[in-house]
Amino acid sequence: MTAETLSERVYGPNRERALLSLRFSLERAFEGLKVSLTDVGADREGWVTVSIKGEDSEVALEYVRRMYGTALRRGEASRLSEVRGKVSEITPETVIVDVGPGGLRASIPWSWLRIQLAPAAENLEETAKTLCIIKNIPMYVKIICPDVEPMQAKLSERQVKLYASWVRSGLDRVIVSSVTKSMLKKALKSSGLTKSSIVIEQLGVLEHSILCSLASTPESLASAIQRVLPEANVAIFDPMKAKRIMGSRLLYP
């Protein structure tokens, strides 16, 4: 049996639902492989561990690593290594990202965020609000200095390109955390707003990006989700506002 701790963290009142959702998702993905998913669990901090056994376990694990990444362990980080984590704190000067068990964190200062992401923004607060950098949202970072705590980091190119692609789509989005995808779908259906969304993109097990249709308003979607799922953290992404603060960063391919 092989176990892997993922760069995926579950939290809040829907923690167990998230683990069950992940198990179902992986079982569907592993159909046709000679593997058994023996356990999907989480430690006290919420970091998810997947245990797999069987003839095709390495193939299955490689799929899991590509989808969710591997949690960083203390002492493993090297300069310019790229890791996936979850935003845990936003201050006027920095964004803190949890990147591994044992309180392993990376800090992205406003100076780097301004250069990489929002050269036309006034401050980090405006940037976070405009780009929906909310607590627990997944974020890819590149480690600059691994020998301090928290580690010093900047955004990875992958993360910057993601925001640029959202702007170029020209469509509003509603970003939601703390609920599973199935809960989100049920909330939209019960509110009669299923046709208001084009697709629900899964950013993490408990984090999602809803691409709004042209005929809908993101405010109505956000309001309905908050009413049905009060535990959800909801933010609205306006591509025009994001375009204004990102400026030259939209030149990314």
CATH number assigned to the domain comprising residue 218: 3.30.70
Domain residue limits at 133: 82-164
Do 200 and 219 belong together in one domain?
yes
pLDDT tens-digit profile, the chain (253 residues): 788 999 999 999 999 999 999 999 999 999 999 999 999 999 999 999 999 999 999 999 999 999 999 999 988 888 878 999 999 999 999 999 999 999 999 999 999 999 999 999 999 999 999 999 999 999 999 999 999 999 999 999 999 999 999 999 999 999 999 999 999 999 999 999 888 889 999 999 999 999 999 988 999 999 999 999 999 999 999 999 999 999 877 765 4
Do 148 and 193 belong together in one domain?
no
Alpha carbon distance 50, 67 (integer Å): 13
Q: How many CB atoms lie within 10 A of CB 112?
A: 19
pLDDT at res. 252: 56
Do 60 and 91 belong together in one domain?
no
Say if CB 172 and CB 237 are below 8 A apart.
Answer: yes
Last residue of a domain, one of 140, 164, 188: 164
Do 93 and 135 belong together in one domain?
yes
Last residue of a domain, one of 36, 68, 100: 68
**Domain total of the chain:** 3
Do 56 and 91 belong together in one domain?
no
Sign of CA dihedral 151, 152, 158, 162: positive
Q: How many CB atoms lie within 10 A of CB 58?
A: 12
Q: Where are the alpha helices (DSSP H) in the chain?
A: 15-29, 57-68, 110-116, 124-130, 157-169, 181-190, 218-228, 239-246
Do 88 and 138 belong together in one domain?
yes
Rounded to the nearest 5 degrees, what angle is found at the Cα of 71, between the Cα atoms of 202 and 68?
25
Do 159 and 121 belong together in one domain?
yes
Say if CB 2 and CB 53 are below 8 A apart.
Answer: yes
SS3 of 186, please? Answer: helix
**Is residue 246 in a domain?**
no
Say if CB 210 and CB 138 are below 8 A apart.
Answer: no
Do 89 and 152 belong together in one domain?
yes
**Is residue 76 in a domain?**
no
Last residue of a domain, one of 130, 164, 198: 164
Do 119 and 181 belong together in one domain?
no
Give the chain's radius of gyration (CA, Å).
18
Q: For residue 36, give the nearest of 63, 19, 60 by alpha carbon.
A: 60
pTM of structure? 0.93
**Is residue 56 in a domain?**
yes
Do 140 and 195 belong together in one domain?
no
